[in-house]
Amino acid sequence: MSPPGSGDRVLVVAPHPDDETLGCGGVIQEAVARGAEIHVALMTNGDASELAVILGERELRLTPTAFIELGRKRQQESLRTLTSFGVPASHIHFLGFPNNGLTALWRLEHWPYSRLYRAPRTRVSLSPYRGTVTPHAPYCGQQVLSDLTAVLHQVQPNLIFVTDAQDIHPDHWATCCFLRYALETIAVRGAAWARSAQVYGYLIHWPGYPLPARVAPRLQLLPPPRLIEAGGEWLRLPLSLELSRRKLTAIRGYHTQDPSFDRLLLRFARANETFELLPTPGLEIGGAIRFRNEHGHRRRLGGVEMAGLRLAVSEQLTISAEVESSRRPIARGAYIALDVRGWDERGAPVVTTIYEETGGIVRAMRLDEIEVANLRIGARVQRGRLEIPRLPLLPQGLAQRELFVTCWGSVRDRAIDSAVVTPVRLHSPGGGDEGQ
């Protein structure tokens, strides 16, 4: 993978302060050195880390004030690190949304302004931080979409780096959801630059990643073998020893995260950075597309273990889906969430449908901005597979033939990790341009 150069407009999107340096510290330094225009957007201020409050701040009283102060300090750490790399302060965009709350904002329960999310650690529903894209930003999905859309319009990037959809931290895959949905919203409305932008995913959280488990600036950073086996296009950006050492020094500067205690952070200073090219798949109307998600991390959580999703769209624009799992997918407080969104005139999502089993009956709970309705469907549950036939979820006015799919598993309302996060562009049979 070649580094960004003069003429490139680069946007790095990170869930928490320090993720931008762990995953993209080398990209950022290369972009600055080669004359690219570089911007960084941080979704949260990382204000829900109990360990950071106890160890980093030496504060034993876990009060809302302590967590908010932690968020302010983490904001300053990223600002200090990025400006030391040469990123102008005006190119650093803090959004100020709740740490560990991004999946809640993605779901429709907290999507509209009428249903704000209250962060359990800071106990606020509006951002308490200065210097955010929207002062006192309301904690809801519509505001996240609005702020990310504003940043994207300002930067108009041709290269975007965001946490990978397969990252097992819920804030990380939710960041990928919001970024790709915001970008696709702009593309649906006709912006050519949004349609052609390349999106790359970087991985932070994965069992045993990165290996080996020690500080090693001269060693390569390789994707987990399971993700390589599952497919996808993984690329390496080589870094000089000087750059990797500068990255190591920068990581040590995040004092609230106490890198000397959590040496996992220091492992990301390697001889390269690794990224997955995140494409937008095409689906022929009347055909099907299959997504894979190979890993066994969720076994110990006792819940859903998503292995794949087969999505089909009929000639009548109805959806059928088949979710694969290595265990029974719906049991003991666990459920499958299949989120299919389009765009109406306000750019809001159309529908989320959650499938759960109660007494042997599968219920589909269709969630929208007005109410929650329980709908019984003809789903067939068997060990290792959930078949969901003929769900007329696509909006009537889907003239642009675009949809956005997210599929994940949860246990007792705790989002585990996503199996699929992707825009899908429909096209007519035969590969013609009609309806694209």
Which CATH number do you get for residue 370?
A: 2.60.40
Indicate left, alpha or beta for 286 from its phi (over 0: left) and psi (-120 to 50: alpha).
left
Residue 213 has pLDDT above 90, yes or no: no
| Residue at a domain's end among 243, 277, 311 | 277
355 pLDDT tier (thresholds 50, 70, 90)? low
Please say if the pLDDT value at position 199 is more than 60: yes
In this structure, is residue 436 part of a structural domain?
no
* Pair (45, 169) in one structural domain: yes
Banded pLDDT at 300 (limits 50, 70, 90): very low
In this prediction, residues 1-13 reach a mean pLDDT of 97
**Last-in-domain residue among 277, 305, 330:** 277
Comparing 160-169, 201-210, 353-362, the range with the smallest average pLDDT is: 353-362
Mean pLDDT across the chain: 80
Q: pLDDT band at residue 435, thresholds of 50, 70 and 90? A: very low
Specify the pLDDT at position 236.
Answer: 97
Does residue 434 form part of some domain? no
Helices (runs of H) and strands (runs of E) counted in the chain: 9, 19
- Please report the sign of the dihedral spanned by the C-alpha atoms of residue 43, residue 48, residue 49, residue 54: positive
According to the model, what pLDDT value does residue 349 have?
A: 53
Both structure tokens of 324: 């694969």
Residues 63-101 as b/e (b if ≥16 CB within 10 A, e otherwise) read eeebbbbbbebbbebbbebbeebebeeebbbbbbbbbbb
What is the model's pLDDT at position 44? 97
Q: Looking at the structure, do residues 99 and 190 belong to the same domain, yes or no?
A: yes
Same structural domain, 213 and 292: no
Q: Which of 92-106, 195-209, 376-390 has the lowest mean pLDDT?
A: 376-390
C-alpha to C-alpha distance for 82 and 436, rounded to whole angstroms? 40
> pLDDT value at position 330?
47
Is there a single domain that holds both residue 190 and residue 308?
A: no
pLDDT above 70 (res 12): yes
Do residue 241 and residue 377 come from a single domain? no
CA distance 92 to 79: 7
Cα–Cα dist 194/62, whole Å: 42
Buried b (16+ CB within 10 A) or exposed e, 26-39: bbbbbbbeeebbbb
Residue 64 has pLDDT above 80, yes or no: yes
Q: Identify the pLDDT of residue 340.
A: 77
Least confident segment among 33-37, 53-57, 204-208, 291-295: 53-57
Residue 43 is assigned to a structural domain of this protein? yes
Pairing of strands 385-391, 319-325: antiparallel
Residues 141 and 33 in one domain: yes
Average pLDDT over residues 88-108: 93
The confidence score (pLDDT) of residue 430 equals 67
Q: Answer yes or no: do 293 and 408 share one domain.
A: yes
Which is it for the CA torsion 260, 264, 269, 271, positive or negative? Answer: positive
**400 lies in some domain:** yes
The pLDDT value given to residue 333 = 54
At residue 370 the predicted structure's pLDDT band, cuts being 50, 70 and 90, is very low
Same-domain pairing of 159 and 266: yes
Total number of domains in the chain: 2
Residues 200 and 320 in one domain: no
Same-domain status, 37 and 81? yes
Structure tokens at 209: 């990643």
Q: What was the pLDDT predicted at 140?
A: 95
Q: Is residue 314 part of a domain?
A: yes
Dump pLDDT digits (tens) for 238-290: 999 999 999 999 999 998 887 665 578 999 999 999 999 999 998 888 888 88
Q: Is the pLDDT of residue 353 over 70?
A: no
Distance of alpha carbon 140 from alpha carbon 109, whole angstroms: 9
Mean pLDDT over 185-211 rounds to 93
One domain for residues 69 and 134 = yes
pLDDT, average across residues 31-46: 98
416: containing domain? 282-427
Specify whether 273 is located in the same domain as 294.
Answer: no
Residue 190: predicted pLDDT: 87
CA distance 28 to 20: 9
Residue 373: pLDDT band by 50, 70, 90 thresholds? very low
CATH number at residue 183: 3.40.50.10320
